Amino acid sequence: MQITVFQAALIALFYYLAQSPWLMGMGYWTLYRPLIAGVVVGIILGNPTQGAIIGASINLIYLGFISAGGSLPGDPALAGYVGTALAIGSGIDVNAALALAVPIGLLGGLIWFGRMTLDAIFVHWADRYAEQGNTAGVAFANIVPPQILLFVICFVPAFLAVLYGPPAVKGAIDFLGAKVFHILIVIGGMLPALGIAMNFRSIGKGQTLPFFFLGFLLFVYLKLSIIGIAAFAVVFAFVYMHLHKGGMKSDA
């Protein structure tokens, strides 16, 4: 079947909604999953049952999908929406759709990197509003500009991919792939240094610097989890304070 412009736009809109905050945070837990994406695309294209079956198959790849610490191993939602649309639209079978879904998921990773990098700009807008004591401004900076950005970078690629089909998807991946991907990964890796350093500066008045190193070393050498490191830190904090007080109070 031929996918119309309207149908493609609708599918792309749902892909955006999956990543947007508008469903009280529930987008990520529902629309983001290929299972739901498949049904939605199925309904839009007039075949919900087939959509559900294809979405369920794609979702199997991402069953163990976890996004922790803001890093995404691919994008199940893009794989779900575009994969299902291509499978129903181009009449390719479920397995071929699965084969396409994985690289599409990678392309989605690029959207994620772009968003996570560019959104850093708007936090600085929020800083400026905070300086003025403008609560509405902080709320604005948190929602409006990042969502406009997110809408554009989600809607456009999904729309084009659904409308122009498998060749478009492959072309886009080949064209953007290696280089742009790499630059964004490098910058995306470096930016947390700023946020972390800013936070440390607001905690660290010199005396906590050794503990900063301690946390770092526990992670790289002992490979402890963050929970484990925090548990150790609590013990260290108790010991530290006990020793500190011991000099002044004998009953401590």
What residue type is 198 in one-letter code? M
Residues 6+ apart with CB under 8 A from 136: 129
For another protein, which stretch binds (CB under 8 A), given 9-17, 80-88, 162-170, 223-231?
223-231
Residue 114 CB, nearest approach to another protein (Å): 11
For another protein, which stretch binds (CB under 8 A), given 4-12, 158-166, 167-175, 217-225?
217-225
Q: Decide if residue 49 touches another protein (CB under 8 A).
A: yes
Q: Decide if residue 90 touches another protein (CB under 8 A).
A: no
For another protein, which stretch binds (CB under 8 A), given 6-14, 83-91, 124-132, 158-166?
124-132
Q: Decide if residue 152 touches another protein (CB under 8 A).
A: no
Of 80 and 165, CB closest to another protein: 80
For another protein, which stretch binds (CB under 8 A), given 4-12, 153-161, 167-175, 232-240?
232-240
In terms of DSSP H, where are the helices of 29-134?
Answer: 34-44, 48-61, 76-89, 94-118, 120-131
Q: Are 80 and 152 in contact (CB under 8 A)?
A: no
Collapsing DSSP to helix, strand or coil, 148 comes out as helix
Q: Are 36 and 69 in contact (CB under 8 A)?
A: no
From 15, 18, 45, 57, residue interacting with another protein (rule: CB under 8 A): 57
What residue type is 107 in one-letter code? L
Query: Is the C-alpha dihedral spanning 18, 63, 184, 24 positive or negative?
Result: positive
Q: Rg (Cα) of the chain, in Å, rounded?
A: 23
Task: Please list every residue from 126 through 145 that binds another protein, using CB under 8 A.
Answer: 126-127, 129-133, 135, 138-139, 141-143, 145
